[in-house]
Chains A and B, each alone.
Chain A
Amino acid sequence: MNDSKIIKLCKELGCCDTCCLRYIGLKSPAAYEEAKQFLVKYVRDKTEHANNVDPSTDQDETNPPEEIGPTAEQDKIEPADCANHSKEQDQTELADGVNQKTEQEAGSLQNDTEKTSCDRNGAESDEPPAKKQKTDSICVSCIGVLQEENWPQCYAMVKEVLDKKRYECDTFACALSAPIATMLRERYITLCLKEQFADYDADKLLTPLKEAWKWSFGAHLAAHVGITLDSGAVSPLLVTLNLEYPDDLQELEVLKTLSASLFESRSKQRQRFAVEFTRRSVEQALRGVTLARLRAQPAWEGGAPAPRAQARPVSVQAAHAPLYLGGRYIKLSRTLPQTPWLVNGLRMMHSSVQEIIFGPIARLYGMSPDETEYRLKFMSAGREDVDVRCLGDGRPFAVEVSDPQRTPTADELRRMCDEISEGEQVIVKSLVPVSREELAELKKGEETKCKTYEALCIKLSHTEDDELTANGDTAIRVTERDIANINSYRNSDSSRVLLSQRTPIRVLHRRPLLTRTRRILDLTAYPVAGHPQLFVVRLRTEAGTYVKEWAHGEAGRTRPRLQDALRARADILALDVASVDLPWPNTNTL
């Protein structure tokens, strides 16, 4: 086995130049950029090498040069205005010379690549169009995916999408969605290679179609769209091309005979497999296919059937990796939910923190309300209730912008903050782009962060040691002793207060009933001047503590409760988050 022989066989079978490179296992991206020239040079070098080293070992090795040479037909289909091709005349002829053998041996297969290309470019060919079947030039393996004739239409479609979306990104990655029939055809070629060359190892050698496509088409596309091609791991902008082949499903039908059991079981589960032929199912089916069984199928008697038409681009998608904007919000309203509050599809509050923050971002990107709904996503380190304010430095949050055209400038970010804060319900002092890693910190923070609250509370009954007047209508007052009782209260050696909280009734309909242990780390109380029955408690709690339920006790479902520290019945009138102990986003970037 040697590469020249593999190339020869591939050509005989009807493969294009680029596919030949794939089957010999070439993995150098540069080789694929100008596959035809590379192949010619490669074959020549191989041959010369073989001739020089040991011309007698393999008779076939000496054959290619003899077969190579311009033919009358070559001259005819090489019109003068295809200057770029004539420049490479020698090499082109060489490559077609390899093909010449194909023509002689396989009879029906011809290479009229050059002609097709020029025709499509509007060049006059002196070759009558009807003389040859155009389809003969379509590669039997890639169905034209790797053949340049197809590409101008792809460039145009990509350009149209990129022009419309107007990304400010100087790199891109590209992805291919190729007809599934290429898998079946590829399998056939590798089986043929294996038949001829027992040690041919397709798993090790074969360069995947999508890789070859990136290295060949992708490189040319970059030149056309004027931005640099990079790997998907590096570039945030991904362009996906969908190529379709009209006979795709029809050709794959043969697998229902070759791998009957697989597709029978799939069709029984039709519900689950809406699409029978997926890359996965075809790959599975192809595992058991042998050359003999494939050739026994009418369509495959004479080898791989010539594609009736080329794979054509049908759609292009461009998507930029999401952008994350991080900040902290201060919520000043007691009638504002964090996210839209809907009951049976009806909105319960006029707005939400999320909507107020989304507004200026959606405006910057020119998003419609519908678009805003699916392109912006709100994330935060926890949430507060509608009637709870969030003060201090606010609560960390991030907005995911999917498919952003660009990153906002520092100026634009500042302006967004101003617009958010205008209504004085929500204040955001700064917004910064944050990384995916930082986002993980935000989400992790939800479970680990501590929070400080201030709660306005009321004493509702006398304590045992309150001094009562004889007539029994002594007003309830918060005494110095009450404040001292709260300030000295503790029920655990390990922390200030250890709470046992059942899932609050207000969320019990949608969460499991559990009893959780939570800690109050600090607890101080102070009286309220002018309101003798009121007092304020300031407390620091670990994540997940239900502070309202601790304050009113929820009919004893949280124990101990504020009334245990006060030694009298108590209730909560208002709650503020005073601080969320999570330094995020990274202060360096603020």
Chain B
Amino acid sequence: MTMEFKILDSIPDLTNLKSFTERYFSKRYITNVNGIKNNDIMIMFHSNRIALLSLAPSHFFFTKANDFKVNYSVGNVNRLRNSVKGKSKKGGQHLVPKSVVCKIEYDDGTSFDVPCCMKGTLVEVNEELVKNPKLLKECPDEDGYIAIILSSIAISEATKSEMLTHEEYLKVLDSFEIND
């Protein structure tokens, strides 16, 4: 048996490459949250029940050109001060579907809230968005993620099943366009 193995043995089909989040996460969507048109949220679920919160591509945010900031200070809670200890992520801020994770504040004085849309423990917020908010617009499903949330397997599965799959989401968007 020859023992010559090279990494070049492993060149995959390059026509159908998946991004990092496409490889490891399943994307779920919820539209018109709180009755606000195109207040559309995307949650990316890892198979290990870790979830990444972000804005869905159809969110009205992506149609507005104004400069903006991401503010993790909501109500009397500063999400940037969130800290978790140990394997069980003790001390993480508790989140419910209605919890506001951050606010997007425009230079024209308007703003909107980003709701969590699921129950869980806040593990991490994307501090990079404070320094470099345009990441949210440029790559919402990677560097522009808003927060990392940990929930139980049961909650994670239940939330996933209540939300739209990517295919369902695309259909819903189509029907909106027709209705409009």
A, B: real partners: yes
Q: Is the CB of A506 within 8 A of B48?
A: yes
The answer for the CA separation of A513 and B90 in the assembled complex, in Å, is 11
Chain A contacts of B46 at CB under 8 A?
A: 505-506, 509
The answer for the CA separation of A513 and B147 in the assembled complex, in Å, is 14
Q: Which bucket holds chain B's interface residue count?
A: 35 or more
Chain A contacts of B6 at CB under 8 A?
A: 454
Binary per-residue interface labels of chain B (1-20) against chain A in the complex, 1 for a CB within 8 Å, 0 otherwise? 10101111011101001011
Chain B contacts of A552 at CB under 8 A?
A: 20
- CB of A459, distance to nearest CB on chain B (Å): 12
Q: Is the CB of B1 within 8 A of A554?
A: no
- CB of B150, distance to nearest CB on chain A (Å): 7
B148 in complex: contacting residue of A332, A334, A508, A576, CB < 8 Å? A508
The answer for the CA separation of A427 and B1 in the assembled complex, in Å, is 10
B123 beta carbon closer than 8 Å to chain A: yes
Query: If A505-B148, A506-B24, A513-B89 touch, does A536 touch B49 (CB 8 Å cutoff)?
Result: no
Chain A contacts of B143 at CB under 8 A?
A: 553, 555-556
Q: Is the CB of A528 within 8 A of B1?
A: no
The answer for the CA separation of A194 and B145 in the assembled complex, in Å, is 80
B124 beta carbon closer than 8 Å to chain A: yes
Query: If A424-B1, A506-B24, A528-B8 touch, does A556 touch B84 (CB 8 Å cutoff)?
Result: no
B8 in complex: contacting residue of A334, A456, A511, A553, CB < 8 Å? A456
Q: Is the CB of B86 within 8 A of A512?
A: yes
In chain A, what residue has the closest Cβ to B86?
A512
Q: Is the CB of B48 within 8 A of A573?
A: no
The answer for the CA separation of A508 and B52 in the assembled complex, in Å, is 12
The answer for the CA separation of A533 and B126 in the assembled complex, in Å, is 30
Q: Is the CB of B148 within 8 A of A456?
A: no
The answer for the CA separation of A502 and B85 in the assembled complex, in Å, is 14
Query: If A506-B46, A513-B89 touch, does A576 touch B124 (CB 8 Å cutoff)?
Result: no
Q: Is the CB of A513 within 8 A of B7?
A: no
In chain A, what residue has the closest Cβ to B128?
A556
Chain A, 543-565, CB within 8 A of any chain B CB: 552-556
B105 beta carbon closer than 8 Å to chain A: no
B3 in complex: contacting residue of A330, A456, A533, A556, CB < 8 Å? A330
Chain A contacts of B17 at CB under 8 A?
A: 458, 571, 573
A391 beta carbon closer than 8 Å to chain B: yes
Chain A contacts of B10 at CB under 8 A?
A: 334, 389, 456, 573-574, 576
- CB of B120, distance to nearest CB on chain A (Å): 12
B87 in complex: contacting residue of A424, A455, A510, A571, CB < 8 Å? A510
B11 in complex: contacting residue of A421, A509, A512, A573, CB < 8 Å? A573
B113 beta carbon closer than 8 Å to chain A: no
B50 beta carbon closer than 8 Å to chain A: yes
Q: Which bucket holds chain A's interface residue count?
A: 35 or more
B21 beta carbon closer than 8 Å to chain A: yes
- CB of A503, distance to nearest CB on chain B (Å): 10
A566 beta carbon closer than 8 Å to chain B: no
In chain B, what residue has the closest Cβ to A456?
B7
Q: Is the CB of A505 within 8 A of B5?
A: no
Chain B contacts of A511 at CB under 8 A?
A: 87
In chain B, what residue has the closest Cβ to A528?
B8
A534 beta carbon closer than 8 Å to chain B: yes
- CB of B132, distance to nearest CB on chain A (Å): 9
The answer for the CA separation of A502 and B148 in the assembled complex, in Å, is 12
A555 in complex: contacting residue of B3, B49, B89, B145, CB < 8 Å? B145
Chain B contacts of A427 at CB under 8 A?
A: 1, 3
- CB of B17, distance to nearest CB on chain A (Å): 7
Query: If A554-B20, A555-B21, A571-B20 touch, does A391 touch B50 (CB 8 Å cutoff)?
Result: no
Chain A, 504-539, CB within 8 A of any chain B CB: 505-513, 528, 531, 533-534, 536
Chain B contacts of A455 at CB under 8 A?
A: 7
5 more A-B residue pairs beyond the given contacts A454-B7, A507-B48, A574-B10, with a C-beta to C-beta distance below 8 A:
A334-B10, A391-B5, A427-B3, A505-B148, A531-B11
Q: Which residues of B contact A (CB under 8 A)?
A: 1, 3, 5-8, 10-12, 14, 17, 19-21, 24, 46, 48-50, 52, 84-87, 89, 123-124, 126, 128, 135, 142-143, 145, 148, 150
Provide 30 A-B residue pairs closer than 8 Å at the C-beta atoms, listed in order of the A residue: A330-B3, A332-B5, A334-B10, A391-B5, A424-B1, A454-B7, A456-B10, A458-B14, A458-B17, A505-B46, A508-B50, A509-B46, A509-B50, A509-B150, A510-B48, A512-B89, A513-B123, A528-B8, A531-B11, A534-B14, A554-B20, A555-B20, A555-B52, A555-B126, A555-B142, A555-B145, A556-B126, A571-B17, A573-B12, A573-B17
